[in-house]
Chain A
């Protein structure tokens, strides 16, 4: 299976800060990576697909990029509603796998 390793596992930041979350794939997955936001007790919400494409309706402060097998999700100017857990997911090959998540907390 393709392993996805997210770092950090948790991070604290303040409203207005910019944060970058990382997802490293254990093998080449091309651009087959999506990012999701999950709030407590809710289903995940799609933010980014194909590495860097912003899902319709998602604020432009969210952006994704890729360098080799390393993917980043950057959230600029954090808003109160952005504090949540973020997961990456690969779809390059079966089985689809998710990272273990990064919890973004308010400082």
Chain B
């Protein structure tokens, strides 16, 4: 059974870069059937899709964040990562990594979530 686990700093200063890593166990990033996504949720609010990456490195991003996002994969450690530049208080949220079933486009496995707070 696949498991996903987010890791990274819980506190980031405004204007700096937020970096999160998702470690995948029980499945290979290179399995070919899945995309690997980031989704966030501000406290008390709904879910926002940030973007996704495929094992080969191709990406799709939410246009609202595209200018500040980059994603990468590390096959040797079975991890994928998110970088979000120039953060503000509006980027404070719980960040989830999730596995998207390729072709059917739904998220069947999620990490537990990582709270990232942007401080001034």
Contact = CB atoms under 8 A, between A and B. Distances in A.
A98 B39 CA distance: 10
A83 B10 CA distance: 29
Contact of B106 (A34, A95, A97, A101): A34
Interface of A: 32, 34, 36, 42-46, 49-50, 55, 87, 89, 91, 94-101
Contacts, number: 54
A34 B64 contact: no
A77 B120 CA distance: 48
- By secondary structure, the A interface counts as loop
A1 B113 CA distance: 25
Contacts of B62: 94-95
Nearest to B96: A43
B46 interface: yes
Contacts of A101: 46
